[in-house]
Amino acid sequence: MTSSQGTSLRTDEVCAQIKHIGFAASKRVRIYGEEFEVLSDPFPSANGIAIHVRSQRTSETRVLQLPA
């Protein structure tokens, strides 16, 4: 991954930073106008970084792509 400043970060470092700011297993987050229970730590996906979540509104489990 490359940040907008042009510095390169390893994917595991990015995942660790995202986990540190609150996107870690057993946490609750509000993103995209919905509240989710985080079921996994951040992991690399084809389009960046994602997490497994459960929607508090529908109880649906899914993979949630995190914004860059």
pLDDT tens figures, 16-55: 999 999 899 999 999 989 999 999 999 999 889 999 999 9
Contact 28, 35 (CB under 8 A): yes
How much is the pLDDT for 47? Answer: 81
Confidence of residue 68 (pLDDT cuts 50, 70, 90): confident
∠ CA 19-50-47, rounded to 5°: 130
How much is the pLDDT for 8? Answer: 58
How much is the pLDDT for 46? Answer: 87
Q: How far apart are CA 11 and CA 4, in angstroms?
A: 15
How much is the pLDDT for 5? Answer: 47
